Every structure is written in C-alpha cells, then in structure tokens.
Amino acid sequence: MSCLVLATGSARAADRVALLIGNSDYRAPDMALRNPVNDVEALGAALRELGFAVTEATDQNAASMDRAVHAFGQAAQGAEMAVFFYAGHGVQIGGQNHLIGTEFSGSDLTALSRSSITIDRVRDVLAKAGPDVGILLLDACRNNPFSERGMVEQGLVRIRGGAGLLIAYATDPGNVAYDGLGDNSVFTSSLLDHIATPDLDVRLMLGRVRQQVVLDTEGRQIPWVEESVLDEHSFAPGLPSASPTDAFEADMAHWRSISASSDQADFKDYLQTYPDGLFAAFARDRIELLRNTETAPAAPISATLAAAEPDKLAAALSTLGLMPDGPSRNLEPALDQYRRRLPLQETATPERLFEDAAEVSVFLAATTLQSLRTDIVALRSVERTLAVAENALGQIEEIARSDPAALPVLQQARNDIYDIYRSRGVILRRLDQSRSYYDELLTRAVVFFPSEPGADFFDAAATSRNLGQAHARLSEDAALFLRHVAQAEDSKKGSYQWLADLIPPG
C-alpha cells in the first residue's frame, strides 16, 4: 500500500509547510510496525488545524521518499516554518542516519543503504530552502531486527543541524523509541498533546514532549534535541488574553532574567517583588558581592587567571552573575569584578574561580530540583484526575444524548474538565521554567566543574545561608546534581537524561 496526499490548510498555509512520512507496511514481515501511518495521519490533522500545507507520504520506498523530500525543499523556500516528520525504521550506518524505505528485504548493508535516504539529505534540502525555522522530527529507532542481526548498531547517531534548524529525536543515541500500545507512538502522542499549546516557543514545547516521554516510559526513552534557533517560534498562535501568571512561574522567570546581571538594582527589585522568593538568599548575596566589588581597589588581573581557558572562564563568571549571557567574549571586566570581590588579589586563581562557581551552581541546582520534584508529583496527580474526569465526561455525554435532564450535569462536567486543564497548564508552565533553568545550570557546570567535586561545595553554601531543616533535603539533591555533572556526556547534550532521576515512585 502506498499513499501520497497533499492537503492545503488556511490562507497562510504557504508560509507553513510540512512533509510527514510514515512507513508501517515493510516488505519484510518482521519489520512491520503498527503506528507510523497512524502517527502521520494524526499529526497531519493537527498541523492542518494550525495552518500548515501538509504533504502525507505513507509506506514509501526510498525513491518516492527522495522525490517527496525534493518537492518539500521547493515548497519550503521562504517559508515561515517548515516541518519534516518521519516515523518508521531508522538506523545508523558508518556515522550516517538512514530512514528505511518499505522495499527493503535484504540482509546486508549495501541493500540497506540502497533502500534508504539519509537524514543528512533532508537536513541539507531544508537548509538550502532557508525557511525562518526548519524543524526535523524523527520518530525513528523503532524496535527493529537490524541490530539483532548484528548489521548495525542500535539507534541513531547524533548529527549537527545548521543555523535556523532544529532536529528532535524520539530517543537518545543508541536507544529504542517505542511504537506505543495505543494508536500512536509514545513520542507522537506526547507531541500531539502539546503542539497546539498557544504561543509556546517550539523549544519549550519540545521540552514538554521530552518531559512527558521520560515520565510515561519511566526513563526508558529519553528524547533529545539539537538546535540552532535564535528567535522564538510557536506552532500555535497566542490567545487574545493570557491566563493569570502563577506566582512561582513569575518568581523563576524573574530570577532567570537577572541571574547574570551585574547591577545591584536588579536584585533589589527582585527582593522587593519576592522578599521570600525561591532565590531571595542568592539575591542578597549578589547585592553584597556587587557592593564589595564597587568599593574594592582596582588591581591588575593575575596572568594565571587571564590565561585560563576562555570557555571555562565565561561559564564560571556567568554562573556567578559577573558576565551576561550572549555572544560577547570580553572577559576582562568580569574578571576584574571577580578579583575585586576577594580580600586578597593573589587568591584570584582559576581554581578559586571554578570552585566558587561550583559552590553557587550546586546550591542553585539543588534548590531548583526541589521545585521540579514537587511539580512533577503535582503533574502526575492532575493527569490522573484528568483521565478519570474525561472518562466520566464520556459516560455523561452518552447519557445526555437520550436524557435532557442530564444536560446540567454535562455542563458541570465540562467546566470541571476545563478547570483541570487550566491547573495542568499552570504546572506545565512552572516546569518549563525550572526544567530549562536546571538544564542551563547543568550545561554551564560541565564546562568548568572540577574533575572530582566534593560535597563540601554544598556544605559551605548551606552553612553560610543558615538553611536549618532544609539542609538535609537540599543536600540529597546537591549530591544528585554532582552525579548529573559527572555523568554528562557531549553525546547526550540536548536530552533530559537527568529527568529520569526525578520520577516519583509508584
């Protein structure tokens, strides 16, 4: 069976294009998959609702996939957003990722290569087309016989995108993406849950997808993302009036916006707005640090400090709030501020800087992990409640079709569902903030952290802040952060592998 469908959405459709390929009906019986065609149909319907011109190509051989990709490249020229989605078998051969056509039935790598197209081919076509943002969604690595036969390694290999491109993989390198027990794969189901969220940046949207997949699979499947996207892009337009901002979400967002500031006024404003905020202790520390910096005498920066590796210096200085994030690489003003904060110039060594930044990172990360744990438990509770409420709503709707007396109950049930969805949205926005911030802290820390960090980093920070009973709880999460730093690999960058450690029991 083979099907190629071109469907046009709204008047804006030419600005938003998508090619969806799903291969289920492979010639080799042991390669058959249940859900790729379902995934294409469901995602195609969702994207049309969002104003995309959608091309669906199902059960395609390599030649027809290549033709569809060529046509997609032409349609994507000058587009606002261009989306490529693939569901089916995918493998890595010699460092390249191959998407397998349905005609494959051989038993050697030559036949496998001949019956496939590469992801590099898709990426290059999209890069040449130059849309404002190009997105590749790869729900491949389905459980397949290739690795079992010893023909290839399991899973896909990491590849780089280009400027304006985002590549999202359903699972991390070397692992399997689950086809799913329902009508769609685990990854596509999560994508369908979040893709139509109004005014949600695509990176945050995929953050929610990754989070949901990790939680739903108990950490067995961990999606990851490679991206070089600078501006914000969302699949769904914003609503005319946004829902009220949650206090915790606003606290976290405010802190993230000033965490790398070197202006005392920013931290004073934070404390005035959130005197008991999550990062109030750190705001007071920054004010004191910056006050001391301003009054300290100027002195030359030591040659040892100035000669340290620039990337490590920049990451550590950013963590300490002495260097704003961004493309600027002028380290000297930030190094001068750091030297001024120390009582003796000779103590301003690279080792001292990295240890100070590590201490701050550990405490910030442990504090953020506490918030993540709380909200993940809350999210699971709300989603269980939502599942029960939606089941009850279906039963009430069935009764109301023949009994008008049930209509008031039906309306109340719908109102209850709305309230639950609203609560879920609040928790998801909080998680967007804390999840992203923790990942930022981890990404920086792996650059400058000492090779063998000890618990004394956290103990020193805890003592200075008089944490009391909170010390024990935060100490556990500090140890977890240290483990995440030690386990971090470049090949896993862009995944939320660490999130699996926050899955609540039961």
Per-residue pLDDT tens over the stretch 160-219:
667 789 999 998 776 777 777 788 999 999 999 999 999 899 999 999 999 999 999 988
Could you identify the residue written with the tokens 């450690």?
A: 501
Could you identify the residue written with the tokens 């914003």?
A: 238
Confidence band for 460, pLDDT divided at 50, 70 and 90: low
Confidence check: pLDDT of 478 > 60: yes
Angle at the Cα of 121 (from 69 to 141), degrees rounded to 5?
90
Predicted confidence (pLDDT) per residue in 345-368, tens digit:
556 788 888 888 888 888 899 989
Is the separation of the CB atoms in 445 and 368 below 8 Å? Answer: no
Rounded to whole angstroms, the Cα distance separating 303 from 191 reads: 51
Encoding tokens for residue 432?
């967007």
CA distances in angstroms from 26 to 60, 92, 391, listed in the order given: 9, 18, 36
Predicted confidence (pLDDT) per residue in 194-203, tens digit:
999 998 999 9
According to DSSP, residue 198 is labeled B
Q: What is the pLDDT of residue 491?
A: 61
Confidence band for 18, pLDDT divided at 50, 70 and 90: very high
Q: What is the pLDDT of residue 12?
A: 40
- By the 10 Å C-beta count (0-12 exposed, 13-18 middle, 19+ buried), 220 is classed as middle
Rounded to whole angstroms, the Cα distance separating 261 from 393 reads: 49
Q: Is 21 helix (H, G, I), strand (E, B) or coil?
A: strand
User: Comparing C-alpha atoms, which of 442, 443, 478 is closest to residue 461?
Assistant: 478
Q: What is the pLDDT of residue 377?
A: 94
Cross-strand bridge partners of residue 347:
none
The average pLDDT across 388-400 equals 93
Q: Is 89 helix (H, G, I), strand (E, B) or coil?
A: coil
Arithmetic mean of pLDDT over the chain: 83
Rounded to whole angstroms, the Cα distance separating 191 from 465 reads: 42
Rounded to whole angstroms, the Cα distance separating 221 from 204 reads: 19
The interaxial angle of helices 280-295 and 264-273, nearest 10 deg, is 150
Backbone angles phi, psi at 118, to 5 degrees: -95, 155
Q: What is the pLDDT of residue 322?
A: 81
First to last CA, the chain: 43
Rounded to whole angstroms, the Cα distance separating 219 from 66 reads: 34
Query: How many Cα atoms are found within 13 Å in the side-chain-facing hemisphere of 442?
Result: 29
Angle at the Cα of 266 (from 362 to 312), degrees rounded to 5?
40
Count CB-CB contacts under 10 A for residue 307. Answer: 11
Encoding tokens for residue 278?
């999550």
Q: What is the pLDDT of residue 281?
A: 85
Angle at the Cα of 463 (from 369 to 375), degrees rounded to 5?
15
Confidence check: pLDDT of 431 > 80: yes
340 Cβ neighbours under 8 A, 6+ residues apart? 292, 293, 294, 296, 297, 298, 299
Q: What is the pLDDT of residue 463?
A: 53
Q: What is the pLDDT of residue 229?
A: 79
Q: Is 118 helix (H, G, I), strand (E, B) or coil?
A: strand
